[in-house]
Chains A and B, each alone.
Chain A
């Protein structure tokens, strides 16, 4: 079991999101920022496009030899004094993490930002077992207070505005002066810092994600902008790295290439503020660091994507550029997608992880505008993979019956040009006659979805092929 999904209710989720004025305002604020910043960063680096090719190739190579790199990585972590645990699914990962926490008698567990931890629902599991997990990334902290999933993979609270955050802080931080001024974002930030500082010092275990796991050295790498990740992994006695199998990268040299496209694609930064490398527990000569170092590597359905068309999705380095550029994401936000991963990358990955029977809407809810693919730093052909899901659904008869029968009828005519010409001539003639007065229809039978929001332009009447035959072919005969 992974976290609960509302992906089957995508349409209802989307309708609610479209009518949520506050959400629409928040989405409007973020739309342009990410896009412009990425473009500027890409324009400043002449080799950016070549780096994207190289990033794609590095990930492809790794995936082809993933077993070898996982083994090599495990060996290096062990050699540095750490432990590696492989978890087949979310349940195994949760159990492993809980037992590590219990071994150290942990009470407070701080967390750096990790999408895998969302995927396995670790916070609820720790809470249910009497521990206190504390998110330390500001956005994650806010949504933890609200008991929500992130709505964006790099900006988890992007769906909120400052007034909502202020209300949450007042609701939860009851030990602080009720009359304090929180009207400025910087005041919210300062308050969160102060509250979190105490948590950092109290923590027994720190859990972070990983952007990369380096096979060559057994190093895990996180990129952050707040520095919370460093405090999470350095201060507690025990550091747990929670990552999925596709985070493997062969060498530090490879990582340095991937880092050059990651932050540029995500936020338009050349590099994130912090890029932190950690290898094993603290050595006797180290000034600080954890006594225990564990890595939990999650599969959760990913290995079954290897060798299929969806293997390409495992190249993803979670920059968020696809959702930043997606008109559907811009319209409905991340929560509508109903599970952990939103936007185009979620539309491809989610069906792989929770089943296309549950997440079937996601790869269908795309105009195939192709903007996601055009910005993906590792060149994942996202529309093509969404289409592959549609093909799987069609093969398994999961496509809605109305769509199927409509397609069948249309296909029947389209495959018979003479009949098609005859039928369309009659239909267009009638439609043109009916629409002659206004030139458009405000309502048409069987086109409710279209006419709910826009008129349907009337056809001109005679079809092209009819007129062509009359004017050209007739003249030549």
Chain B
């Protein structure tokens, strides 16, 4: 298999799922929703052994560890036609930042460029690369959508999730005020500068509530955990889910931060 993607798309592309460390550890159902969406679209999906894209080290100034982890990812995913992540932040790390890490190492730089070229955020892969226009799912009610920053500004993810959501029967999308403004997560920022992060997510929670949608969706689990944690802390009964769960019609798991429904007799 060639390291650079061929211009002609294979009929059944082999996709390496970069599941992301947060989805792997916290909410595997998002990963399986991504697998379903990709398989429904005709992909052969595999999830090689993986840990993290290295972003926490990168944004903390630790380039050495970041490079080590990037090399690990580059090697694990070199055999696929595409690499897809249910996260704009991790896909953005691979696409926009991996090449920068190897500016002085032409050999690894070439490998990083090749990986960057074939890596995509999930919804933009479905819409922009595979040309998916409709998903096989139903949902009852209104949702509002938060645009996570890296996906939005590094990868231009905005209309793709909305386009797919619009194809779901029974679902209405209600835009919140400032959907494109940061939720205050920012990785370790949320812990290091918790007072500021707390104030930013408070504004976000208010905008979500004022949309009157009972469900909020986004494409990045970090932001979702931040928003879900704030909404539940404030006693706002709003369901929080990754957009892939709704697009795949896989909403049997309780929403983020919610307990399993007690079984009714």
A residues sitting closer than 8 Å to B (CB atoms) are 11, 14-15, 18, 327-328, 330-332, 364-371, 373-374, 387, 389-395, 399, 403, 407, 410-411, 413-415, 417-418, 420-421, 424, 427-428, 436-440, 442, 447-450, 452-460, 462-468, 472
Contacts and interface: CB of A to CB of B under 8 A. Distances in A.
Contacts, number: 209
A424 B25 contact: yes
B252 to A, nearest CB: 12
Contacts of A391: 61-63
B181 A403 contact: no
Interface in B163-216: 181-182, 184-203
Nearest to B225: A457
Contacts of A392: 61
B32 interface: yes
Contact of A411 (B29, B57, B190): B57
Interface bracket on B: 35 or more
Given A365-B193, A371-B182, A411 B32 contact: no
Contacts of B72: 415, 417
Closest 9 CB pairs of A and B: A367-B186, A453-B198, A454-B229, A394-B61, A390-B61, A464-B28, A457-B257, A439-B259, A449-B191
B208 to A, nearest CB: 13
Contact of A18 (B51, B56, B195): B195
Contacts of A417: 49-51, 72
A436 B60 CA distance: 32
A440 B62 CA distance: 31
Contacts of A457: 26, 225, 228-229, 232, 256-257
Contacts of B257: 439-440, 455, 457-458
Nearest to B76: A417
A407 B186 contact: no
Given A371-B182, A415-B72, A417-B72, 14 more contacts: A11-B195, A332-B199, A367-B182, A367-B185, A391-B61, A394-B60, A411-B62, A411-B69, A424-B25, A427-B25, A450-B229, A464-B23, A464-B31, A465-B19
Nearest to A367: B186
A406 to B, nearest CB: 9
Interface in B17-57: 19, 21, 23-29, 31-32, 47, 49-52, 54, 56-57
Nearest to A461: B28
Given A327-B182, A368-B149, A394-B62, A452 B49 contact: no
B230 interface: yes
Contacts of A374: 153
Nearest to A420: B51
